[in-house]
A = this chain, B = another copy of it.
Amino acid sequence: MSGGPLVVAVIGAGRCGQEVGARAEAVGRALAEAGCVLVCGGLGGVMEASCRGAHEAGGLTVGILPGRDPQAANPYVHVPIATGLGEARNAVIAQAARGAIAIAGGWGTLSEIALCRKLGKPVVSLDSWRPDETVRRANSPEDAVAQLLAAIGR
């Protein structure tokens, strides 16, 4: 296990429409096929859709939950980590991952993008916030995964 598995974050809102959900699912699938461990906030919306995609492709999913109840995790989270930290868990997600793919999303997503960038980690935006040009823009789920893996150096 040289260096251990590649842990990658998928960040996005806890609710999303069908189109965004389909993109998140495709991102999760592509990450699993690339052998990555998917870490996310563990709740619904983009988080659930990306976990479903990874799960169906045989990947491993981790949910870093804000609350105290592991049962709050979506059903495709294999390892629920109930932190009880509230929004501070966003910093744990940014710290734990080698890089992140942001899909749509609101203020929580923006905070995670900023925390990743503060920590020097690459972020790819798929129809999400793009506060400056160091946040890469992707055209498709597959492009997002390819760009992130290239930025990480794998």
Contact = CB atoms under 8 A, between A and B. Distances in A.
Given A64-B81, A85-B85, A75 B1 contact: yes
A7 B83 CA distance: 13
Total copies of the chain: 4
Contact of A114 (B3, B82, B83, B114): B114
Interface string A56-95: 0000101010001011010101111111111110111011
A52 B107 CA distance: 31
A96 interface: yes
Interface of A: 1, 3-5, 7, 37, 39, 60, 62, 64, 68, 70-71, 73, 75, 77-88, 90-92, 94-96, 98, 106-108, 110-111, 114-115, 117-119, 129, 131
A91 B92 CA distance: 11
B91 A7 contact: no
Nearest to A110: B114
